[in-house]
A and B are shown apart, each in its own frame.
Chain A
Amino acid sequence: NAGVTQTPKFRVLKTGQSMTLLCAQDMNHEYMYWYRQDPGMGLRLIHYSVGEGTTAKGEVPDGYNVSRLKKQNFLLGLESAAPSQTSVYFCASSFVLQETQYFGPGTRLLVL
């Protein structure tokens, strides 16, 4: 039982490049979330999903897209990376919306 895993752990991008971050969970959770963490800040919600095939915008969705084609996977895409997207990205999942969220180990992204 791996819990929540994220791929990759670290990535360097040039401005304008695209990439996809993968989140996988093996706890059969319905809800999945993507957050970003910037220095001196708590985590902020980017997008989330309340079930397979559904997505919704969070607090800071601009510049990101997401997809939830399978219940266990939640993908975060950057179509044209910008230096402002340099951050640590966390995926989380929960069984129901109100319950405890379990986090992945994070992906550190550096956009030059």
Chain B
Amino acid sequence: KNEVEQSPQNLTAQEGEFITINCSYSVGISALHWLQQHPGGGIVSLFMLSSGKKKHGRLIATINIQEKHSSLHITASHPRDSAVYICAVRKGYGQNFVFGPGTRLSVLP
């Protein structure tokens, strides 16, 4: 079993829909990151979380440390949000990322 799981694997939405992507992990972590990989391959770091909730524009990320679960929400989705969203955790300070398998999101106009 992978240490970091994501659901769904693939998601297709209509423009304007509210989107939720889930990440669950089975190890202790020092931080959890949400990454966005564009169709061309470039990766952008969206959030780093160790507790609570963060918001940036239309994106909201939450984490529940006790339940070992994080969610990424996109409000008022847009076709330009189409990308692969990757959850990655660090098991300890200075340790390498452990990546989830990614969620492929397509937002249709």
**Do A and B originate from a single complex?**
no
A: which residues have CB within 8 A of B? none
